[in-house]
Amino acid sequence: MRIFHHSKENSALQDSASSPHAGLSKPIKATRFRRFSTLATIAILKHFRPQRGRVLLLTKRLCVKYGPLINLSEASAMEFVARNTSIPTPRVRCSFVRNGCTYIVMDRIRGEHIGHNWVSRSPESKAKIYAQLKRMVKQMRAISPPGPGVSDVDGGAIYDCRLPGPSLKFGPFDTIHDFHKYLHGGLEPHPDHFPEISQLIEMHNGPWPPPVFTHGDLSSLNILARGDDVVGIIDWETAGWFPHYWEYTTAWQVNPQNYFWREEIDNFLDAMPRELAMEQIRLKYFGDF
């Protein structure tokens, strides 16, 4: 349960999410023909083709993710990762917005969520998976940030349903300090705060290293494998430039289907117990799921 409401100052920070900078990502390969064929195909196939959440499986090779809560920045993130790393991601065929609904047409990746039959994997099999994930995370973190701020891949607002507030989009934030100030409700140090709140503000005030490129949801549900090979990282909607600990703490914040994953993340991400404790305080006072 969230105890503290955001201060007026924090509301001003949140208002930046509706600024012209909130949506900087552009459509990709959105020719008139591609837009028309995408809409027509969905209209025909949505009645009898399988749908997994917000993703409609069009053919054996193609799928489309669409809806009012989908963002063009997700397609931008996949293209950015494809250009700058060897991480396997869905190839974007086109992306565009029509009538408030975003469409991302992309290749399907043949593989299973690694959580499927995870308990039956041998230690050797798990070790191979961990090693591949470590290399992928290392590649992401090696990309030079465009600046000191927290934003999506194109410098716009970040998207995360786990953050508190009236919207699912936040920022962008000019610095990590601004981002942290938003996360703790804009509160300044004060002797009347609960001790944990004072501790959180002190930790949030840093100093912090520069942001790193982050997937933001490295759940077992977003990692695909065939045998012992990681063949895809999917769902890049929460990706962007974040504090260095964000990959670790968001991977720890799993949904009920995925609690076992908390025991696995230290095998491919650097353990950050101090930052995790900081995030647990934040969640306790400022942002339960």
**pLDDT tens digits, 30-79:** 999 999 999 999 999 999 898 888 999 999 999 999 999 999 999 999 99
Percentage of the residues of the chain whose pLDDT score is greater than 70: 92
Contact assessment for residue 158 and residue 250, using Cβ atoms and an 8 Å cutoff: no
- Mean predicted lDDT score pLDDT of the chain: 90
What is the topology classification, in CATH, of domain 8-286? Aminoglycoside 3'-phosphotransferase; Chain: A, domain 2 (3.90.1200)
> What number is the average pLDDT over the span 203-222?
96
Q: What would the pLDDT profile of 98-128 be if each residue is shown by its tens digit? A: 999 999 999 999 999 998 889 999 999 999 9
pLDDT digits (tens, 9 = 90+) for 5-26: 444 344 433 433 333 344 799 9
pLDDT at 288: 54
Could you state, in order of their start, the residue ranges of all structural domains in the chain?
8-286
Contacts of 96 (CB under 8 A, 6+ apart): 27, 28, 30, 34, 35, 38, 72, 102, 103
Q: Is the distance from CB of 244 to CB of 150 less than 8 angstroms? A: no
Nearest of 147, 242, 129, 171 to residue 24 by alpha carbon:
171
| pLDDT value at 87 more than 50 | yes
